[in-house]
């Protein structure tokens, strides 16, 4: 086995030497090209520490004053990159700092250009100035309100312009990148603009100093249609001059920016998924994507095996001194990252990644390091200086947000002392509020103030509003038909004894006639007849009296003979009616806030109390009212997928009639239609909440018993009434989420 190992190890060493020689030759050729094209040289980089955790970097140039730099920043990881055109690099490649928010500085050169990268532990603002042959950059310990750039040199040509004589913002444009990222392009009329970007909650704040903002560029751009994380761009004049831009975005994003002489570009890209970032969901197997390698070693030192993996992967590996021992490997065609995990598990090691650098150490050593780092961070928070900050609240109430920030704290809103949970505050922090100006007052460490500002920026947002439109439709269809008949017979007969028997109508009460049988002498019809007996037999002078109640038309027939008279009258009526009542209440309300809209009348009526006789008007009169209104009561809730959940109550009352109440006059009778429900509706969708459909059919027959049932002839002895009524109630509702431009 040892004879087999040595040739393999020898070939690997020879291959490594050839790669190293090739790399040196390429570096020498690139250096030669740079030396020919460069007109200046970065000689060295040094730094000084300043109070408050600031770091002052000095970039010294050997060929004269520094060239005009091109500076841009990235958010993940946080970096400040400074490009110098036509410049060679003679400074060390990397300088460790580890002070404040500055981790280190790297300098590389290629193609006649030198790039200096300031590596940050967290987002931080900076300021630059020119001092002789040095470009001095001051890196703050965290993000300040804005980045300033000054020039401290006796040469007036090196002084940067002020806002009065600086360039103007010539254009503000937006474009979508090939991978769905949003790019905000800010054009300037010339050089000299100073731009700074920092993040506050769901917004990117860009401060443009030493520029003039024309009135036509102070506007709000809605870029939702581009399908990027960027939602809108709002630009306005800065309070101290220059311009202030707010970029609203949605989701988990990565941000970066860079600047040229006449343009500043901000890029907002969707963050890569968890698998691409090396983070796996619970239960998800590890995915390996490295270049496949084959290892067959017997008792090879662990450090040598890690060196082979570093050469194959072209990654920077840092191995702790405590890593040792040997390992036997036989891996055929496996990804290099899987091979690395196999070695680490076999020897009880672990890794931590930082960019393209992998740190390998025993698991306990890494755990102790992270624990010590966490304890140092907590100790730094305990000893950090407290600062006071004021946060104006725009859309909410400062008292409510103060209570939320201190939820769980025994001190309560206002940040008073107490042990136990402190909510979102540190053990020494406090928060209070001013109701008059709606402002929060924070007394916290600088890092905690920044976290609280981001949290408040998420909470203090305008509440979305919803327009709810409702339609209540009441449709009626009435049909009534009546058929009636009335007829009578009158006759006169003289007996052998000279008596006259007659059936004739007589005047009755209220002018109504009556059928009578009269018996008397020869002149029975005379007014002064004697011995006349009258028998009342019926009303109206008819044998059958079944007319239509309200006839729209009638037909009469009379047959007159020598001793008899037959009268016949047919009557009929038909009524048809159709009606529609459409009510359309609409109301606008904020998300999760109840809204009520009512329209109608109050119906007054009089009641009597303490009545002695029990009749209306004899007691104490009291005027009371009943509502007959159309009412819409709704509470909307906007869901995460832009739908609307409605808790809704719709009521429509109407006066039907007044009814008599014994001893109390008349009271109104109210027709009530109401629906109370909850429903989930898409934005802009119309849904039918409910409906009531009523059909009333009635056939009424009034007839003479027995005779009214005779086929054909029975129609003369009966009256028919037919009713067919239909009523329909439908309630529609349509919610619409109002966009921010309409609020």
Hey, is 65 helix, strand or coil?
coil
Q: What is the pLDDT of residue 439?
A: 92
The residue behind tokens 């429509």 is: 652
pLDDT in tens, 394-417: 888 899 888 888 875 444 334 333
- Could you tell me the pTM of the whole model? 0.44
Q: How far is CA 46 from CA 94, 95, 106, in A?
A: 11, 8, 12
* Cα separations in angstroms, 618 against 604, 622, 728: 19, 12, 43
| Eight-class DSSP state of 427 | T
Three-state DSSP class for residue 372: helix
Band (pLDDT 50/70/90 cuts) for residue 165 is low
- Only one residue has tokens 């040598």, namely 304
Residues 114-159 have pLDDT tens digits of: 889 898 888 888 888 888 889 999 998 875 433 333 333 333 333 3
260 backbone dihedrals φ, ψ, rounded to 5° = -110, -170
Which pLDDT value is given to residue 628? 87
Calpha distance 73→76 (Å, rounded): 10
Residues β-bridged to residue 481: 574, 722
The H or E element containing residue 512 is none
**Measured CA angle at 205 (ends 202, 208), to 5 deg:** 165
Strands 253-259 and 70-75: antiparallel
pLDDT tens string 495-530:
776 666 666 554 443 333 434 444 444 444 445 444
Could you say which DSSP state residue 596 is in?
E
Q: Contact at 8 Å (CB) between 564 and 570?
A: no
Over the stretch 68-112, which tens digit does the pLDDT of each residue have? 888 878 776 788 888 888 888 888 888 888 888 888 899 988 777
> Which two structure tokens, joined as six digits, stand for 99?
């002070």
Helix (H) or strand (E) holding 480: strand 465-494
User: Which of 81, 47, 46, 41 is closest to 61 using CA atoms?
Assistant: 41
Q: Would you call the peptide bond into 703 cis, given omega within 30 degrees of 0 as the criterion?
A: no
Residue from 125, 222, 235, 124 nearest 182 by CA = 222
State phi, psi for 144 to the nearest 5 degrees: -90, 180
Residues 6+ apart with CB under 8 A from 269: 177, 179, 180, 181, 182, 229, 253, 254, 255, 256
Q: Quick one: average pLDDT of 264-286?
A: 63
C-alpha of 250 from chain center: 11
Among 351-355, 407-411, 466-470, 595-599, the range scoring the smallest mean pLDDT is 407-411
Computed over its alpha carbons, how large is the radius of gyration of the chain?
Answer: 49
Written in H, E and C, the secondary structure of 123-152 is CCCEEEEEECCEEEEEECCCCCCCCCCCCC
Q: How far apart are CA 430 and CA 113, in angstroms?
A: 50
246 pLDDT tier (thresholds 50, 70, 90): very high
- Residue 390: Cβ within 10 Å count: 10
**Percent residues over pLDDT 90 in the chain:** 10
Contact 115, 69 (CB under 8 A): no
Confidence (pLDDT) at 1? 37
What is the model's pLDDT at position 637? 92
Q: What is the pLDDT of residues 636-682, one digit of tens each?
A: 999 888 899 999 888 888 888 888 877 667 888 888 888 888 999 99
- What is the pLDDT at residue 86? 86
């Amino acid at each position: 086995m040892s004879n087999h190992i040595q040739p393999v190890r020898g070939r690997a060493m020879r291959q490594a030497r050839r790669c190293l020689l090739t790399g040196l030759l390429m570096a020498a050729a690139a250096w030669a090209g740079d030396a020919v094209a460069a007109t200046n040289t970065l000689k060295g980089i040094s730094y000084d520490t300043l109070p408050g955790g600031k770091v002052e970097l000095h970039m010294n140039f050997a060929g004269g004053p520094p060239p005009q730099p091109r500076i841009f920043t990235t958010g993940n990881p946080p970096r400040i990159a400074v490009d110098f055109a036509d410049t060679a690099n003679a400074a060390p490649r990397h300088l460790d700092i580890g002070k404040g928010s500055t981790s280190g500085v790297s300098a590389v050169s290629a193609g006649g250009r030198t790039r200096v990268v300031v590596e940050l532990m967290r987002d931080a603002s900076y300021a630059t100035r020119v001092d002789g042959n040095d470009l001095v950059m001051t890196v703050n310990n965290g993000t300040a309100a804005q980045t300033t750039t000054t020039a401290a040199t006796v040469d007036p040509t090196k002084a940067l312009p002020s806002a009065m004589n600086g360039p103007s913002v010539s254009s503000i444009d937006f474009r979508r990148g090939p991978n769905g990222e949003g790019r905000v392009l800010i054009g300037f009329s010339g050089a000299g603009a100073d731009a700074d970007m920092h993040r506050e909650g769901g917004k990117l704040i860009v401060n443009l100093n030493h520029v003039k903002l024309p009135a036509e560029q102070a506007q709000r751009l809605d870029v939702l249609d581009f399908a990027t994380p960027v939602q809108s761009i709002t630009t306005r004049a800065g309070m101290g001059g220059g311009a202030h831009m707010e970029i609203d975005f949605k989701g988990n994003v990565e941000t970066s920016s860079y600047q040229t002489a006449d343009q500043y570009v901000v890029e907002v890209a969707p963050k890569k998924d968890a698998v691409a970032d090396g983070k796996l969901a619970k239960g998800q197997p590890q995915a390996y994507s490295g270049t496949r390698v084959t290892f067959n070693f017997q008792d090879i030192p662990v450090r040598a095996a890690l060196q082979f993996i570093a050469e194959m992967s072209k990654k920077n590996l840092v191995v702790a001194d405590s890593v040792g021992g040997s390992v036997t490997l036989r891996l055929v065609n496996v990804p290099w990252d899987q091979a690395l995990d196999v070695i680490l598990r076999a020897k009880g090691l672990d890794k931590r990644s930082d960019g393209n650098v992998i740190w390998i150490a025993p698991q306990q050593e890494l755990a102790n390091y992270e624990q010590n780092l966490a304890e140092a961070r907590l100790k730094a928070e305990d000893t950090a200086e407290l600062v006071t900050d004021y946060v104006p609240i725009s859309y909410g109430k400062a008292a409510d947000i103060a209570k939320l920030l201190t939820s769980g704290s025994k001190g309560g809103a206002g940040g008073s002392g107490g042990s136990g949970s402190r909510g979102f505050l540190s053990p020494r922090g406090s928060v209070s509020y001013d109701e008059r100006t709606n402002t929060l007052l924070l007394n916290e460490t600088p890092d905690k103030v920044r976290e609280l500002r981001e949290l408040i920026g998420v909470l203090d947002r305008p509440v979305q509003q919803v327009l709810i439109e409702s339609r209540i439709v009441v449709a009626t269809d009435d049909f009534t038909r009546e058929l009636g008949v009335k007829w009578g017979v009158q006759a006169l007969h003289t007996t052998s004894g000279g008596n006259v028997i007659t059936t004739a109508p007589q005047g009755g009460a209220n002018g109504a006639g009556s059928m009578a049988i009269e018996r008397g002498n020869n002149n029975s019809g005379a007014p002064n007849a004697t011995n006349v007996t009258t028998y009342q037999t019926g009303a109206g002078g008819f044998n059958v009296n079944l007319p239509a109640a309200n006839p729209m038309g009638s037909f009469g027939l009379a047959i007159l003979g020598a001793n008899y008279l037959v009268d016949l009258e047919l009557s009929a009526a038909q009524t048809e009616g159709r009606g529609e009542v459409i009510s359309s209440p609409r109301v606008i309300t904020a998300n999760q806030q109840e809204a009520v809209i009512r329209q109608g009348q109050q119906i007054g009526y009089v009641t009597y109390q303490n009545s002695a006789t029990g009749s209306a008007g004899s007691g104490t009169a009291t005027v009371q009212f009943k509502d007959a209104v159309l009412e819409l009561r709704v509470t909307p809730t906007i869901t995460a997928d832009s739908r609307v959940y409605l808790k809704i109550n719709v009521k429509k009352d109407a006066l039907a009639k007044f009814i008599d109440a014994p001893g109390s006059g008349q009271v109104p009778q109210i027709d009530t239609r109401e629906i109370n429900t909850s429903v989930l509706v898409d934005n802009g969708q119309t849904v039918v909440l409910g409906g009531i459909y009523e059909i009333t059919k009635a056939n009424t027959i009034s007839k003479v018993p027995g005779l009214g049932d005779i086929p054909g002839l029975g129609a003369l002895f009966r009256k028919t009434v037919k009713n067919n009524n239909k009523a329909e109630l439908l309630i529609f509702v349509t919610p619409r989420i109002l966009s921010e431009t309409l609020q």
